[in-house]
Amino acid sequence: MHGFRLDVETHIITAAVTSVQNLVKCIRSIGIDVDDLVLEPLASSEAVLTEDEKEIGIILADVGGGTTDIAVFKDGSIWHTSILPVAGYQITRDVAIGLGLPFDVAEEMKKRYGSVMPVYESKRETSST
**In this prediction, what percent of the chain has a pLDDT beyond 70?**
88
Backbone conformation region of residue 124, classed left if phi is above 0, alpha if psi is from -120 to 50, else beta: beta
Amino acid at 42: L
Distance CA 78, CA 59 (A): 10
DSSP 3-state of 122: helix
For residue 117, is pLDDT > 80?
Answer: no
The mean pLDDT value for 82-108 works out to 94
pLDDT in tens, 26-51: 999 999 999 999 999 999 999 999 99
The mean pLDDT value for 60-66 works out to 93
Listed in order, strand segments (DSSP E) in the chain are: 58-63, 68-74, 77-84
Distance CA 3, CA 6 (A): 10
The dihedrals phi and psi of 50, each to the nearest 5 degrees, come to -90, 165
Ordered by where they begin, the domains of the chain are 38-123 (3.30.420.40)
For residue 77, is pLDDT > 60?
Answer: yes
**In this prediction, what percent of the chain has a pLDDT beyond 90?**
74
Higher pLDDT, 127 or 96: 96
Distance CA 103, CA 91 (A): 10
